[in-house]
Structure 1
Amino acid sequence: MANEYRGEVEVELGGNTYTMRPTMNAIAHLEAKGGSIRKLLSKFIKDDGSGRTVENDEWAVTDVMRILQAGFVGQGRDAPAPKDLGDLVMQTGAQALVVPCVEFLANCLNPPKREAAEADHDENPTDGAEA
């Protein structure tokens, strides 16, 4: 299960759920293989000129693979084997992986703040009580 306070993101690959973790090692892995995270993120989303963020279609399947690999850095047996990642992406479909990849990149740049997560929980309790 992903820890939202750490900015972790769950991703489903080949019918299994894995957790991507935004760490300095993940960031270093991404940037060593292709420039800044902001540049990579801009392949997936962009400003439409009116201040709204919209999808961008400049990403490639190799970008998705690179993000997944970075998200799994240092996780050992809790992550899919690197040699299996390509097949898992093909089984799942690269388009289905865009949202978790974008969320992961955003969390690498600006991890969620614990206070904000707690405030959201206070406003939206999930204890099943009706107002």
Structure 2
Amino acid sequence: MTNPHAGEVALVIEGERRVMKLTLGALAELEAALGADTLVALIERYENGEFATRDVLALLLAGLRGGGWEGSATDLAQADIAGGPIAAAQAAAQLLARAFTLPETTRDGL
């Protein structure tokens, strides 16, 4: 089970359910993978529907690493993801949203 309040998102890779999370270390890895791009630019690309496949792969890899996965970018690029590219892009978008949005129950301190 994933905990959306902890920023977790699930994705099935090679038939195995993986829990992803953008930890601080994973975010730092994501920034490095994107080079000169900022996370704000990445969020804006997602909001405008202008994200690239490399954005999806970088987000998923960072989230998987945050969840404890030890695979490489090559492993992920060659992996079978349940639901295909659409599910991968949706999971990446959820990772961003959950990492940078407060859950409804904590916005008002409840």
With the length of structure 2 as denominator, give the TM-score of the two structures. 0.75
Pairing 1:1-131 to 2, within 5 Å after superposition? 1-34=1-34, 35-46=37-48, 56=49, 58-76=50-68, 79=69, 81-82=71-72, 83-88=74-79, 93-112=84-103, 115=106
Q: Is the 8 A contact 1:14 1:92 kept in 2?
A: no
For the residues of structure 1 that align with 2:59 and 2:94, how far apart are their CA atoms?
11
Secondary structure of 1:81 counterpart: coil
Residue identity (%): 29
Superposed CA RMSD? 2.5
In structure 2, how many angstroms separate the alpha carbons of the residues matched to 1:19 and 1:111? 19
**Larger Cα-atom Rg:** 1
Q: How far did residue 18 of structure 1 move?
A: 0.7
**Structure 2: which amino acid aligns with 1:106?**
A
CA deviation after TM superposition for structure 1 residue 105, in Å: 1.0
Please give the TM-score of this superposition, normalised by the length of structure 1.
Answer: 0.65
Structure 2 gap ranges (5+): none
Q: Report the number of matched residues.
A: 105
Task: Give the match's secondary structure for 1:59.
Answer: coil
Structure 1 position 99, deviation (Å): 1.1
Runs of 5+ unmatched residues, structure 1: 47-55, 120-131
Q: Give the 3 Å change call, closer, same or farther, for CA 75–100 of structure 1 in structure 2.
A: closer
SS in 1 for 2:51: coil
